[in-house]
Every structure is written in structure tokens, then in C-alpha cells.
A and B are shown apart, each in its own frame.
Chain A
């Protein structure tokens, strides 16, 4: 009998693999004295800063390590008779509780940072410098009490299929990185029930972990994942012969490199949210331009579709100061935020335009519901082009502007939208959720969440027909594009391209 662990906090996606239960080396006795341990941790952080793609977070850790409040609290605890290790742990919990008490997600993430730093001190105190992440086997599901920002820097994400933890929040650094890499996470799980070496099925969408499932269950699950072993050869042949183009989804420049190496014909969806999340303030035009240009160059001449920021919904951004909403998926999201903050939007458009001088770039607008949103966005694009022309800055004058079709409204007016845009990309995740009025994270209605439901399939058909009449291409991005049945459906419906997560691409391109 399979045991199932449920929770209500997760990052979506399906994955399976062998449990790797992390035991933090904090059980031994103290091998070092406190000042030595602090020096060790300082060195460790410096090396992380030198080798990390997100050095800011570790610079902040370094500062916390030398913080007078932290030192003072630890020293007071020792004066009260605690052993050094206990003193550090108590200080961490005390300060973390104080920061979490501020009541916002941002501060809760800083509380994680403090605990991360203190855990590092404790590990040094106990003389444990082993890197538990160094020898993770392929196809592992990491199981831990909690995961810290510094863990993500040490983790080889190419081997990690999923993360399962007892503590943590979906807005933590770890979850943001996991989301951008397409790695599902289930938080709030009673991990005592999982033993090292157990086989786990992780369903991020349902926030569920199945331990040592029956073979039949694993089979069903594997079909759900739709990874390369599961798309039958006949479907892969159909894909190759249909001439449908295979692009990759990417959330970072590293993802793009991986996708191109894996045979992708280009990037069908470059998410830009990572630039806006888990940071102070908002990214400048320069910072965005640098990243977009790196992204474009990493494509080595292949096309890349850059989606303007798709934030709001379940993706909160501290720098935007969006008030809490009862229904974030029906609220200020994506293009709605962009159009309400034209200066912010124009900075992003200019950055994309400037990067377009270095390759084949398309601009994609998310969450479109009405034609006037497209005309307003296009007017801003033209305005930015005029500005760049005036300053003699190079960009692609023929840049294509298209939209995500992911709302029922966009489907219903797809004939009108088709006259305004250069391409459509159907976002199956949100389209299914909005057409079926079913939250994909809610297990009680997940039976409704089916991208091949006749209602969703008809919506896709309408979009393809509307596009066909004016001769613009239609792509599909979203998890369904990697599912064998859905893939067959999209090929037969006349979709021009699929954009998939990199691991799903193998065997589809020639």
C-alpha cells in the first residue's frame, strides 16, 4: 500500500526519483571555538560569492554574519550558560522570529537568510564541512527539514528532480529557483515518513508525495510527466514528420544554453520574471538589457521569444507594491501591471529592443484579454523605437510582436486579435485553468484540469483557425505541450510550434 503525504504548499510540476534525505551535520560535538567557526563561515561565504550567479544574496549573508545584533545575542546566550552551538541556534530562531513578525513574505525570506547563516556557523562549529550536495546521484528527490539559499548554490539542479521539505515558503529563494528550473517542490511534508532510497512520485500541482508506489501507479504517473521515455516513438516520429517546430522554454541564460545544447530550434518562451523577483526595487533598463543580450547571444542565431513580465497571480514581487487581492489570478497581473506602469514597461521594451540588434527576437505580451491592450502595448513599442532611432541605438526594426492566448476572452476575439499581432502562443496552463474554471493547485477539482478537455481543445481549434485566416503562426507553450497525447493533438490541429521544457525535447528534433 502506497503511503501518500499531502500538503497545501507547493511549486507545480510532476517528477519522480529516489529519495535523498539530507541529514545536516549538526549532531556532533563542537570541534571548534566560536570565533574560529565564524572565520570558517566567512571564508565559505566569500567562496560562494565568487562562484555564484546570485552573489547578492551571499553578500547579504556575509553582512549578517558580522552583524552586531547577532553577535550580541549569541554572546548573551553564552553568558546565560548555553553551549556555543545552542547559543547560535537560539539566536537564529530569536532573530528569525523577530523578522518573520513583520508579517510580509520578503521579511520571512530574510528570516530564512539568518537561519541559513547560523546553520553555517553551527556546521563549522561541529567541524562538518562536508558538502552533502556534492555526490547526489542522478534522478534524486531531495528531502530535507528545510532548504536554504546557500543550498541552491551548492546543488546540481541537473540531477535533482524534485524537492520535498518540512518547512519553508513558496516565496523563498529556493522555490523561486526551483520554479525557474521547472523543478516541483512540496513543502510542509512530514518527512519522517520518508527514508533514504525510497522511490517517490512528486506531484507539485496537488502538493502530494507518493512513497514507494505500485508499478501501475508509477506508469500512470510517468505518462503524466511526459518526459522523453514516455512520448512513444510513433508520436515523436509524427512530430518530426509534421514539420512542427520545437522550441524550449527558459527562465535564465543557463536554461537557454542547456536547451540549445539539447537540440532546441530556438527559445519559444523566455520568462523574464526572475529579473523582478526576490530582490529590492526593480531592475533597471541597463540590467535587463545586459541579461536579454546574453540570452539572445546564447541562442546563437536561433529565434528567441521574450515574454514581457508575467507577474502577479501566484508570483509576488516586493518591488511593485501590489496590494493584496482576493483573487490574484483575476487581478493585477502581467500586461495589466505593465500598462498601468508605462515607465516600467517601456524600460523593459527598450531593453528587449536593444537586445534585438544581436539576434532574432520576438516580443510576447502575456494575459491579453482585449484588442485595446495590444494596441496600447504596440503604441508603447513604437514610441520606444522612435526614441532609440533618435539616439542612434541599433535594434531590429522588423521585430515581431505577438501575444499569449491564455484567457477565454482572447480565444473569443482571436479573429480580431489576429489582425493586430504577428503571432499567437497558446499558454495551456492558464488557458486550461481559466476555461475550466479549475485551479490547477486544488486537488479536489483537479479532475477538471485537463488541457485536452473538449472545451479547451475547441478553444485551441478556434485560435488556430483565426490565425490561419490571416496567416500568422500559432505556437503552444505550457506543460501540456510535452504530454504525448496533447502533442499528437497539437500536431493534428495545425499548430506551428511547441515550446517545451528542455528535458522534454530529446528525440523530437532531427
Chain B
């Protein structure tokens, strides 16, 4: 399993549209299971509802956990994606 840590920098946190894009990104690694965890909760990153329920805001610290054939690339691309979110 690959684990990456990250702090959300985007001023708006994670809203529906970027959450949807993140789900698409996760689904582009078939066979690789990705979870995202805050200190309070861990969810399946292929569910937009679960992602929204995390209530990610600027400053939230998260862990990305990927497991499967593409786990390293998946984790890296997700880190890149979250880092690029519009401030």
C-alpha cells in the first residue's frame, strides 16, 4: 500500500465539481483501491458523496491510501490533482 500525506491548500476546499473530477481520476486506475482519510474519518475515494462528506477545507490534513497494481502512480497523481485545485 502507498500512503501520501497532504494538506488541502485550495481556499474553497473540495467542492462537487473537483470532487467529481477526483472520482474520475481514481476510476482511471482500475483495480487500484483508493481511500482518503482525515483525522476523523476514512472514505472510499471513488464515491463523490463520501468525498463531500469529509468536508475538506483549506488546512485539512489528509492521508491518501492506494492499494493495487497502480498504487504509486495513482497516489502521486491524486496528490498532484489536489495540489492544483484552484486557490
Residues of A at the B interface (CB closer than 8 Å) are 56, 59-60, 63-64, 67-70, 95, 98-99, 101-103, 106-107, 110, 113-114, 279-282, 318-319, 321
Contact: A63 with B48, CB < 8 Å?
A: yes
**A67-B50, A95-B49, A101-B55 are known contacts; what are 4 more A-B pairs with Cβ within 8 Å?**
A60-B16, A68-B47, A70-B47, A280-B12
Min CB distance, A113 to chain B, in Å? 8
- Residues from chain B with a CB closer than 8 A to the CB of A56 are 17
Going nearest first, the 6 A-B pairs with the smallest beta carbon separation are A102-B55, A280-B15, A69-B47, A280-B17, A69-B49, A281-B86
Contact: B47 with A60, CB < 8 Å?
A: no
Contact: A63 with B23, CB < 8 Å?
A: yes
Which residues 45-87 of B have a CB within 8 angstroms of A?
A: 46-50, 52-53, 55, 58, 86
Rounded to whole angstroms, the CA-CA distance of A280 and B19 in the bound complex is: 10
- Residues from chain B with a CB closer than 8 A to the CB of A68 are 44, 46-47, 50
Rounded to whole angstroms, the CA-CA distance of A70 and B11 in the bound complex is: 28
Residues of B at the A interface (CB closer than 8 Å) are 11-12, 15-18, 20, 23, 43-44, 46-50, 52-53, 55, 58, 86
Contact: A70 with B17, CB < 8 Å?
A: no
Contact: B52 with A107, CB < 8 Å?
A: yes
Contact: B11 with A321, CB < 8 Å?
A: yes
Rounded to whole angstroms, the CA-CA distance of A67 and B58 in the bound complex is: 25
A99 with B49, Cβ < 8 A, contacts A59-B20, A68-B44 known: yes
Rounded to whole angstroms, the CA-CA distance of A321 and B58 in the bound complex is: 10
Contact: B12 with A110, CB < 8 Å?
A: no
Rounded to whole angstroms, the CA-CA distance of A280 and B49 in the bound complex is: 16
- Which listed residue (B43, B46, B49, B53) contacts A64, Cβ 8 A? B49
Min CB distance, A417 to chain B, in Å? 34
Instruction: Give the residue name and chain of the A residue nearest to B20 (CB).
Output: A63
Instruction: Give the residue name and chain of the B residue nearest to A117 (CB).
Output: B49
Rounded to whole angstroms, the CA-CA distance of A279 and B58 in the bound complex is: 17
- Residues from chain B with a CB closer than 8 A to the CB of A282 are 86
- Residues from chain A with a CB closer than 8 A to the CB of B46 are 68
